[in-house]
Chain A
Amino acid sequence: MIRMSRWFCVLLIWILIAPAVWARGVYQDPEDFISEVFSGKAPPPSLLQISEDEQKQIREILGHKLGAGRVRYWQHEDRTVWILEEIGKERPITVGLVVDKGKLELIKVLIFRESRGSEVRYPFFTDQFKGASLGEDGQLDRNIDGVSGATLSTRALTKLARLALYLHQQREQADVTGQTSPR
């Protein structure tokens, strides 16, 4: 037990003196992500109004309603960028998604606040989403293999990929009916 006590002391000192300067789980600022996607020339954001019918469909995707009645996005021609959040186990994961002509071009974990499962931020996982589109059943057109031990984070990112593709589709329809507005 003497060795255990000594070990506890070392750990305690480490915790106390560990520099508290890093921002845990912040891999890229969302604004920087948007700027990077558009090569430094980000267009002004637009807003997509979410109708009741769309909320029902979003509930099918996420398992719950979307908190906001409208969603901000950035668009240049047929390419849209979305900053979306979903809880894995306990805390929201902030994800940047790029959709081009109805297909996922990029999905990137920007802020990860969960205590487990941050491996989903690595390209070896997120590269699986490249080129994915929505099938008629509202599911992705491909299987996404999860990261072992990060089941809930995998689930959250898969839901956000489906949501971004769905919102991209709704934006195209809203452009016709005038339900989007510049901001």
Chain B
Amino acid sequence: MSKEAKEALKLQADVLVIGGGPAGAWAAIAAAGQGASVILVDKGYCGTSGATAPSGTAIWYVKPEEQARENAMMSRMDMGGNLAERPWMQRVLDRTYHNMHQIRDWGYPFPIDETGGPNYISVQGPEYMRLMRKRVQKAGVRILDHSPALELLSDSHGVAGASGINEQTRQPWRIEAAAVVIATGGCAFLSKALGTNVLTGDGYLMAGEAGAEFSGMEFSTAYAIVPYFSPVTKTALYQFATFYYEDGRVIEGAGSRRGRSIIAKTLLKEPVYARLDKADESIRQSMRKAQPNFFLSFDRLKIDPFTDKFPVTLRFEGTVRGTGGINIVDETCATKVPGLYAAGDAATRELICGGFTGGGSHNAAWAMSSGYWSGEGAAQFALKQGTNRFNRNARGLSEFSGVSTQADSSKSKISTDEVIRLVQDEVFPYDRNWFRSEQGLTASLGRLNQLWLEIKQGVRADEGSRVGAREVAAMTATARWMYESGLARRETRGMHVRTDYPERDAAQHYRLISGGLDQVWVKPHTAPNNGNAEEAVQA
């Protein structure tokens, strides 16, 4: 790694999109469609980065038929703690329907089902994201790969761009933009859940420094079932599994959906094994065709998951498969900060799934819908700003947190690897994060707040690791927003489980908004909830 300072690449655009997964790609295409000039930066490579690209994912695609839509909206309402909002679900179902037909027209090879027409309820990630990259380029968007954003820029009028570095050339970049879309995904705390190691909450930290707020950060306890060695998080296929103790007895009540907590509780004491023995011969080939990389792992280890028992564990997926994120304040996915928009897993998904999401389906629909709206909204905002929109003498916002964009060279500072380990120790264990209590959360927050202060003094980069000081700070900040929100929700709702408050409390039927850097705060959302009026009335 060369230490010499290179001159920064300086660029201007109406809209800067940070993150090149599905949400960012849709945002860039939609913004360009409005006539805006657009740059997309990705910390990895737009097309392979993020949770979607390496996996197959279901899509919350429902034909515009009244009963089917109604069933789709109500099916997860209760599981999500009645926090989803019907108008948002309706618009996401509409937008997803249009976008899926759009990618068919762009050439995505959907399978043909028994109706003789294309079936739209899933996509293969590699194919989908390779296509999206092509369409982003075709829309005239400039893509900067391997170019993480390190901080947002702003002036008194709002957000004005971002700066970062190209990790391969070490050249810094600075992009002045009239509007910025944060599509950086959630935070999975480097758990290696499939494709998530680029998802370290970077966008949360940048948005937090700009003064944006969060919603639903307590809904961040998602763990996926994986073979103990494997990154491949395909929990849906475990609907065909039976779970076993080491001695071969069946673990009663264990399952991939509601029975996942039984697996967690068992894993706290002893190993758990699975076998996909509920899948009969006729469905096995279909499963292989649906999830090639799930079977790739088994084939390479010469395990037959249909006939052999294999050890499983639960890999943490944090807010990637949680539902909380940056709070959005209107239908364009704007945040409360002028010029700043949020989309995909970086934004809260409570609007369509409340406090629970069973898998990729809703998140994928949200990514393509919120991506589209945020790009359109950001472009319209930018194009209204007039000809001086780029020359704003904007300054970097990292000073608001005090977390430097540069690693510290002093040996006395805490190292990136040390921070990673300390944060993972707070968020990975089931008995801290999944099964939460006031005592546990308070103790974790004490340590995390101390760690935050230490990070502000500077972080030393470990040799040979690409994870930077800002990323480990973002993970720490994310854990603090998660746990302060978890502490404030004194009930069990959605995926948030409090062992000291095991029941749902109708008086807490609201979203929780949070924010702050040195002082994290949490408050109930004041707007009425459009999800389920009944519970609000009971309250």
Decide whether A and B assemble into one complex: no
